[in-house]
Each structure stands twice: as structure tokens, then as C-alpha cells.
Amino acid sequence: MRQADAGTSAREATRPVPTGRSGEAATSTTATAPAKSAAPAQPATRDEPRASERPVTQQAPRPAAVATRPASARRVRLTVSRIDPWSAMKISFLLSVALGIALVVATVVLWTVLDAMGVFDQVNGVIGQVIQDGGTEFDILDFVGFTRVVSLSIVIGVVDVILMTAIATLAAFLYNVSSALVGGVQLTLTDD
């Protein structure tokens, strides 16, 4: 009786299974379990809506995943192939104006501090002892007076603005020519 059951289950496993199309059948050559163990698919009941009729619900956003390994810094290699001469001129002009103003302010502050400390009077006394000319008095403020020093610092600041702007613009042109010939400056940037 057992041999007959084994033969029957083997025949059922190789028996053609209908696929739903008329006249076509698929055969299965592997038997894993009897057909009775599989539960039949149940049709949807009236209480349960079909998949196409179910309302679409939005899922709550998932929390950010915790990194299991430390993130390594990205490295990007870039090449500065061209510098715009107009932008180089504008930036150098603004920076040189700022440096010129700083030079004038520093000159005024330094001269005021030296005068308050009495440095000019001491220099007058030392030079008067060295020269020892009784009829002529030496005054260093004739050479380094406040108006002379501030006027000289303003002139130096204006010349500085003109020279730095011209040099930076010329340097941008020269960089563009040299980078066209041999390539630009290569930078490696990292993401921390």
C-alpha cells in the first residue's frame, strides 16, 4: 500500500499544472511536498477592500541611519586654469585701498605716541649736544612734523594703490598665459 502511495505522489508531482491559458500546461519535475499542505488563496471578502481601492497612507519618515564606520574625508583635486583679470583688478584695488588707509592711520597713531612719550624732545637734545653750535638750534620737527609725515604717508598710500592694482592685474594676465602653456595650479581640497 505504501508503494502505491509513493507512486501516486510521484505521478502528481510530474502531472501537468494548468497555467490559466487554454491548451498550455507547465510541468514540475521536483516534488517538495504534497499539494494538500499548501493553503489555497482566499478571495477578498466584501468587508476587505481590494488593493486598488485601499487608501494610500503616508509612512512616517524613518530616523536617520547611524553610521557604523567613521566617515572619511573626501578629497577633490582641482586645477585653477584661469584667473579673470577684471576680478583680480577689483579685489587688488579694494585690498590696496584698505592697506593705504591702514598705513595712514598707523602713521598718525605712531607719530602721536612718539610725541606723547617725548621722543622728539630727547632727539633734539642729543643732536644739539653733538652739533654744539651755539647760535643755531636744531629742531627735528622741522623734518618730521605731523603734517609732513601724514602727507608723506598719504602719497605712499596712493602710490601703493596704483602699483598693487597694476601688479595684480598684470600677474593675472601672466598666470593665464602660463597656465595655457603648462597647466594651472592644482589644489587638493578635503571635506572635513
45 within domain boundaries = no
Nearest alpha-carbon partner for 152 in 97, 108, 98, 95: 108
Q: List per-residue pLDDT tens for the chain, 192 residues long.
A: 455 555 555 555 555 555 555 544 444 444 444 445 455 555 555 555 565 565 666 666 666 655 565 667 888 888 889 999 999 999 999 999 999 999 999 999 999 999 999 898 888 888 877 876 666 777 888 888 999 999 999 999 999 999 999 999 999 999 999 999 998 899 898 887
141 within domain boundaries = yes
Q: How many structural domains are present in the chain?
A: 1
Looking at residue 128, its pLDDT comes to: 78
**Owning domain of residue 108:** 75-191
Specify the residue for cell string 541611519.
Answer: 65
Spatial neighbors of 184 by CB under 8 A, at least 6 apart, are 79, 80, 81, 82, 175
Looking at residue 31, its pLDDT comes to: 46
167 within domain boundaries = yes
What distance, in Å, lies between the first and last C-alpha atoms of the chain? Answer: 77
Looking at residue 25, its pLDDT comes to: 47
181 within domain boundaries = yes
60 within domain boundaries = no
Nearest alpha-carbon partner for 89 in 176, 13, 192, 166: 166
DSSP-derived letter for residue 43 is: P
